[in-house]
Structures are given as C-alpha cells and as structure tokens.
Amino acid sequence: MAYSMGDKQGMDADQIMEFRDLALLELKRAERYRNFLSLLVLNLSEFLATAGKRKINSPDAASEFVEKAVARLRAFARETDMISRLGDARLVMLLPETDPSGARTAAGRFQKLMADYLAEFLESDFRFEVSLEISSFPDSTGEASLKSRLKGLFARN
C-alpha cells in the first residue's frame, strides 16, 4: 500500500494523519503477534537546500521532485510496504515484518536508489548521500521505541 501527498495543505495533513493512523495500527499488530516492524525516514531537505537549488526554483518544482522520488521508491518496494511524504522533504516508509537487519538492508538499497535518482536529476556522476533513520520493533538496544518515534515524527507536522 503506498501513499502520496497532494498539493493542498489540508489534503497533505489528512493524508499524513492517515499514514500515522495506519502506522500505529501496524505497530499494534506487530506488538500483539510479536512480529517485526521497521520504519525508515529519508530526508531530502539537505539536497533541496544545496545542490537541488540549481534546478528546483519553485515550491511546485520541489513538490514534483519529491513525488518522483516517492514513485522511484514505490517501484522497488514490496506491496506491503507503505510509503508517504512527511512534510516538504521527508519520506517515510513502514516495512511490516522487517527486522532491524532487514531494515538496514532495505535502507542501503533505498539510499542507493535515491543517490542514483539525485545524480540523474542533476545530470552528474557525483554520489549524494541521503540522510536516513531506522527505527524497529522490537528494539533490544534500549533506544526510543518505534511508537515514540512515530509520535515524534507526526507531532512536527
């Protein structure tokens, strides 16, 4: 299941909340059945604020750029993965039944996809690093729980 954001702010907020609700439901399911669940957050804001400025000169162009990034990720995600925009430049991906090791593998694959997309977009051979955070359930490292990570992400919007 994949989600994308529309151009209207109200619609964005509704779709972000829909993604949040689905993510929290998936977390409850993972807790109940003791399944793994991972969340990836890709941040394109640094690229948009630096190198991307050369070719992106309006909010509409930035939105189109991010939508194409979402489409690229969807093309290589599993059917059960949920992908959405979060604000202007962050992409969130919920990976059901994915343990921390699988999340790291997926993260590497998605970072490479984004690096390829950014190089193509700028018509450059330079490899841009995309910031990516991983949270998983259950988390035996003692770091913040996936539930608090989800709530923190959506509190900012």
Answer whether residue 3 is part of any domain. no
Please indicate, yes or no, if residue 4 is contained in any of the structural domains. Answer: no
In a domain, 64, yes or no: yes
User: What is the tens place of the pLDDT at every residue in 10-66?
Assistant: 447 787 888 889 999 999 999 999 999 999 999 999 999 888 888 898 889 998 999
Q: What is the pTM of this model?
A: 0.84
Residue 66, burial from CB neighbour count under 10 angstroms (0-12, 13-18, 19+): buried
Q: Is residue 38 part of a domain?
A: yes
| pLDDT exceeds 80 at position 6 | no
Confidence check: pLDDT of 81 > 90? yes
- State the pLDDT at residue 144: 58
**Which pLDDT score, from 0 to 100, does residue 4 have?**
36
| Residue 2 counted as domain residue | no
Give the domain CATH number at 123: 3.30.70.270
Nearest to 137 by CA among 37, 40, 24: 37
What token pair was written down for 23? 């993510």
Tell me how many domains the chain contains.
1
On whether residue 112 sits in a domain, the answer given is yes
Domain that holds residue 55: 9-155
Q: Between residues 57 and 88, which one has the greater pLDDT?
A: 57
Question: In this model, does residue 155 exceed pLDDT 80?
Answer: no
